Amino acid sequence: MQYKGYLTRVEFDADANIFHGEVINTRDVITFQGQSVGELKKAFHDSVEDYLAFCAERGEEPDKPFSGRFTIHLSPDQHKKIILAAEKSGKNVESWITEVLTHAAN
């Protein structure tokens, strides 16, 4: 599910007969639960709204779901290969990586 850019992971607990969800694209912890899909969606929306209101009350910026920054750690050999591949294609590294990742994601 997605709401205001926040994405979730949902699991079903058969013993408790309840769905548990957690927002997965923020460093802050946002959880919710429900016994039906309708309850789960409402709880998700309510939890995001509560989180945003809590941040506003504290005068803090909520953690943005996607900042547009992407950090990755590579071996020196991988780093070298990426630099050379970008140069070979005539693109800067950021443009080359963006193009390759976009192609792979689609």
pLDDT in tens, 4-14: 999 999 999 99
Whole-model pTM?
0.65
Per-residue pLDDT at 98 exceeds 80 = yes
Neighbours of 52 (CB within 10 A): 14
Question: Which of the 8 DSSP states describes residue 25?
Answer: S
For residue 69, the model assigns a pLDDT of 76
Long-range contact pairs involving 69-74 (C-beta distance under 8 Å, separation at least 24)? none
Average pLDDT, the chain: 93
- The answer to whether 9 touches 19, Cβ cutoff 8 Å, is no
- How does pLDDT run across 15-43, given as a tens digit for each residue? 999 999 999 998 899 999 999 999 999 99
pLDDT of amino acid 71: 84
